[in-house]
Amino acid sequence: MQRKQILVTGGAGYIGSHTIVTLLEEGYEPIVLDDFRNANPAVIKKLQKLTKKEIPFFNFSCCDFDKLIQLFKKYSFSGVIHFAADKAVGESVVNPLKYFDNNITGLISLLKVIEKYPNTNLVFSSSCTVYGNPTSYPVTESFPVGFNSPYGFTKLCNEQMLMQFHTALQSTKICSLRYFNPIGAHESGLIGEEPIGAPNNLVPFITQTAAGWREQLTVFGNDYNTPDGSCLRDYIHVMDLAEAHVSALKYLEKRKEGCNAIFNIGTGIPTSVLELIKVFEQETGKTLNWKFGPRRAGDVPAIYANVEKSLKELHWKAKRSVNEAVLSAWNFQKHSLITNPSIK
C-alpha cells in the first residue's frame, strides 16, 4: 500500500522533529518544510540516522505561497501538520510584528493552498495559551478564550481563521491541538529541545543549568495562590504529543464529512515548578542551583487540561510520566554535551 504523504511545516523544530519519528513508525511519509529560523539543520541528518529513512526536506518559509504551491504540485499530500511558527512569549511582547508576520501570514499562505487542494487534512499546532488566564481548572475545550501576549493572540487568531475558513469551505477537515507544556526528548537522546541561545522554557533551562551551561535557574515567583507558591502547569512528554498528531490525522481520515475540531493535549495532571525541580533532582541524582526571583510578566498562576474529549474522540491519552519526561530531557542534554560541547 502506498504511504500517505504528510507535509510537516516546522518539521525540524522541537515538536515537529519528534512527530516525524512517530509518523514514520506509523507508516506515513513525512516531507519537511522548515526555514530553520529557530531550528538546527543538523536535526534532519539526526532524524535520518535515527529512523534509517530518507526524509525529503525543503528550506523556505511557509509564508512563501508561490513555493508552497509548487510543493503541493510535486507531492500528493493527504495531510499537513502545521507547526511552523514563532513561539517565544517574551519576544512576542517586544516584537509583535514578527509574530503577526510569521504566525498569521504563514497560516494564510497555507490556507490559500488548501483552498486549491481542499482534500488535504490539516492538523494545526495551537496552545493552551488561548485560555488566557483561566479562573478555574482543569480547563475544557469549551472554556472562554483570550490571550496574554502577542504570541497568544496569534494562536487564537489562527484558530478563529480556521473556524471561518471552514465555515466558508465546509468540506475541509481541520483539527487544532491545544498543547499544554511539552517537555522531554526522544529516548535515543539524538533529538530534543534545542533552543537557539538562552532558553525561555523551564526544562531546557533546568538541564542546561545542571550541565553547567547556565549558572543558576531562577524560579519566577513564590507567592502565587498555589499549594507551594510556584506556578502550576501540565507538562506533557513530547513523544506523547507526537503521538497525538498521528491520532489527529487518523481522526480526520475517518471523518466522512468536513470538520473543525479542537482538542486539549495534556496529561490532566498539574505539577508546580518546585515539584518539577524535585523530580529532576530525584531522577538524575543532580543538585540544581536555583533561587527564587520575581514573577515573570505574563505568566498565569495555574493551568492544566481536562483531557476527556481527546480520550473519547481522538482515542489518545498521554502514557508517559513527568519523571520519564524529565529524565529523557537530561539524557538529551548529556548527549548534546558529548556531541556538541561548544553550543551554549
Just list the catalytic residues.
Answer: 151
DSSP string, 83-134: --S---HHHHHH-HHHHIIIIIHHHHHHHHHHHHSTT-EEEEEEEGGGB-S-
- Residue 89 contacts ligand UD1 per CB under 6 A: yes
Nearer CB in complex with ligand UD1: 177/231: 231
- Count CB atoms within 10 A of the CB of residue 276: 22
Give CA angle at 92 (186, 211), nearest 5°. Answer: 40
29-33 vs 57-58, strand pairing mode: parallel
CB 153 within 8 A of CB 159: no
- Nearest partner of 202 among 231, 174, 177, 229, judged by Cα: 231
Residues 136-175 that bind ligand UD1 (CB under 6 A): 152
d(CA 325, CA 239): 9
Among 8, 24, 84, 128, binds ligand UD1 (CB under 6 A): 128
Cell numbers given for 19: 512527530
Contacts to ligand UD1 from residues 63-82, by CB under 6 A: none
Query: Can you list the alpha helix ranges (DSSP code H) found in 133-261?
Result: 150-168, 202-210, 238-254
Which residues, numbered 290-329, are part of the site for ligand UD1 (CB under 6 A)? 296, 299-300, 303
Instruction: Give dist(CA 293, CA 291) in Å, integer.
Output: 6
Binding status of residue 181 toward ligand UD1 by CB under 6 A: yes
- Chosen residue from 127, 207, 247, 333 binding ligand UD1 by CB under 6 A: 127
Is residue 331 within the footprint of ligand UD1 (CB under 6 A)? Answer: no
Q: Which of 78, 129, 154, 260 binds ligand UD1 (CB under 6 A)?
A: 129
Question: Please, what is the minimum distance in Å from the beta carbon of residue 211 to ligand UD1?
Answer: 15
Nearer residue to ligand UD1 within complex by CB, 79 or 134? 134
Q: How far is the CB of 281 from ligand UD1 (least distance, A)?
A: 15
Per CB under 6 A, the list member of 40, 51, 95, 218 interacting with ligand UD1 is 218
Residues that bind ligand UD1 (CB under 6 A): 87-89, 127-129, 152, 181, 200-202, 205, 217-220, 231, 233, 273, 296, 299-300, 303
